[in-house]
Amino acid sequence: MTVNDLLIRPLRWPDDSQPILALCTGFESDTVYDVIAQVDGFKLVERQLNQPLSKNYDLADELDTLPGFERVLVAEYQQHLVGLAAFRPERWNRRANLVHFYLDDKVRGQGIGRQLMLATLAEAQKMGMRALWLETQNVNYAAIQFYQKLDFKLCGLDTSLYDPSQLPGEIALYFAYLF
């Protein structure tokens, strides 16, 4: 990847809508984190699965909400839209809520996610935010590794957020990057 191949820019609407819809946002993993309740807290423990699990972040229903976000960045690699980041600055506590963050599966593992996240952090900081906050799930091993590599810290979890009849075994984990 050369600098010239990668462009991170604001959303163009509606031109970007179809390329965003075409992104492959899903993942497959053979490792998850179990969230173990203890008397005085929780422990995250890595577990290998016998069968890989897969999950998809479906953007079809969310697409029309994108222009309503105050900041949406896209990554273009070799002139193709390959990544999306969208956050909402919350002014009462100066914390930005990163709602969407995806790299197309064809371009993962090349540092593009890191570049998009660094640009997102820079935008949030420029807007006067003191933190960038996000939610992911205990089953998204790659994302957890990624956020930790980017110096996000686990700042909470919610064992009751997801309906187990729809998302069995999924627990919400919250990460924050403090500027």
Q: Provide the minimum distance between the beta carbon of 91 and ligand COA in the complex, in angstroms, as a whole number.
A: 23
Q: Provide the minimum distance between the beta carbon of 146 and ligand COA in the complex, in angstroms, as a whole number.
A: 4
Q: Provide the minimum distance between the beta carbon of 2 and ligand COA in the complex, in angstroms, as a whole number.
A: 15
Half-sphere exposure of 120 (CA within 13 A, CB side): 35
Phi, psi (degrees; rounded to nearest 5) at 172? -80, 130
Q: Which C-beta is closer to ligand COA: that of 111 or that of 169?
A: 111
Residues found near ligand COA in the complex (CB under 6 A): 25, 27, 57, 101-103, 108-114, 136, 140, 142-143, 145-146, 149
Q: Provide the minimum distance between the beta carbon of 176 and ligand COA in the complex, in angstroms, as a whole number.
A: 13
Which residue is nearest to ligand COA, using beta carbons? Answer: 113
Q: Which C-beta is closer to ligand COA: that of 39 or that of 62?
A: 62
Q: Which C-beta is closer to ligand COA: that of 5 or that of 128?
A: 5
Q: Provide the minimum distance between the beta carbon of 162 and ligand COA in the complex, in angstroms, as a whole number.
A: 13
Q: Which C-beta is closer to ligand COA: that of 38 or that of 51?
A: 51
User: How far, in Å, are 89, 122, 177 from residue 126 at the CA level?
Assistant: 11, 6, 14
Q: Which C-beta is closer to ligand COA: that of 127 or that of 142?
A: 142
